[in-house]
Amino acid sequence: MATRAAPVPELERDHPCFDCAVRELAVCGVLEPAVLRDFKKSGPIAHYAAGETVVFEADAAANVYSLTGGLLRLSKLLPDGRRQIAGFLFPGDFLGITLEEEHAFTAEAVAPSTLCRFPRRQFDAFVAANPALERRLYAVAAHELAAARQQLVLLGRKTATERVASFMLILAGRCHPIVEDQDISFPMSRADIADYLGLRIETVSREISALKAARVIQLTGRQSFRVADLGRLEQLAEG
């Protein structure tokens, strides 16, 4: 998930990134307008329909990506053919931080998604020339490490109720701050949630229904909800 950076520089209306809705969250938001303009020239916009693959596991890591709209899921196939979802990327998140020459996960669009795509070599050169961007990437990498540790606790120690409650909090955490009675979208399927949490689809559906029945959350649509009782949701997530 994206982390918020320091206040971003103001842009003129003719700047190619003026209308970017996630510039405050994106790694490139720390660049000065003139540098950002040059940076954007090296990164064409790529569009993916729901279900399309952005990168496959073991693909050469020739590009890096900044997600400006939509939702991606990161997954890996296990030796026995099962799928494990490692996480979801939201607008403002960055794809491609790796010291390896290959992508460790498959990244697929859950919903129609838009990304700025940058050749890795050019991106690395920009990072080397711009310390602010390097610091921002360091913060993103540290956040990803913390998220990976959180995932280990989620899968290794928590009950089904705690896992689903934690996941709803993760989704709600995309709002800053978390506000009760605010619509929160979750376009991923129950199967995606199950593969992320290490549960059965039926278990995920049952736990979501239980949260609704207890008036902890309110389902406002097929793929949206509101937090009705934040304190209770946090208690359930912590056990």
Q: What pLDDT, on the 0 to 100 scale, is given for residue 142?
A: 83
Whether 108 and 167 share a structural domain: no
Count the domains in the chain: 2
10-residue mean pLDDT series, the chain (239 residues): 57 76 82 82 89 93 92 90 89 84 92 93 87 86 78 80 92 66 86 93 96 95 90 90
Residue 220 domain-assigned? yes
Euclidean distance between CA atoms 188 and 167, whole angstroms: 12
pLDDT tens digits, residue range 177-212?
555 668 888 889 999 999 999 899 999 999 999 999
Q: Tell me the three state secondary structure of residue 65.
A: strand
Euclidean distance between CA atoms 95 and 104, whole angstroms: 11
Residue 3 domain-assigned? no
pLDDT tens digits, residue range 33-60?
888 888 887 778 999 999 999 999 989 9
Whether 126 and 181 share a structural domain: no
Whether 135 and 41 share a structural domain: yes
Q: What pLDDT, on the 0 to 100 scale, is given for residue 177?
A: 52
Residue 86 domain-assigned? yes
Question: Which of 93, 94, 89 has its CA nearest to residue 111?
Answer: 89
Whether 74 and 183 share a structural domain: no
Whether 147 and 182 share a structural domain: no
- Token pair listed for 63: 């590009």
Q: What residue numbers bound the domain in which 36 lies?
A: 27-153
Backbone angles phi, psi at 227, to 5 degrees: -85, 115
> What DSSP line would sit under 172-188, residue for residue?
HTTSSS--TT--EE--S
Q: What is the CATH number of the domain that holds 188?
A: 1.10.10.10
Residue 15 domain-assigned? no
Residue 8 domain-assigned? no
Q: Whole-prediction pTM value?
A: 0.83
User: In the chain, what is the straight-line distance between the N-terminal and C-terminal CA atoms, in Å?
Assistant: 24
User: By the 8 A CB rule, do 234 and 216 touch?
Assistant: no
C-alpha dihedral (40, 141, 235, 231), degrees to nearest 10: -30
User: By the 8 A CB rule, do 55 and 100 touch?
Assistant: no
Q: What pLDDT, on the 0 to 100 scale, is given for residue 126?
A: 86
> What DSSP line would sit under 129-165, residue for residue?
H-HHHHHHHHHHHHHHHHHHHHHHHHHHT--HHHHHH
Whether 209 and 106 share a structural domain: no
Q: What is the CATH number of the domain that holds 99?
A: 2.60.120.10
Euclidean distance between CA atoms 216 and 236, whole angstroms: 10
Whether 189 and 95 share a structural domain: no
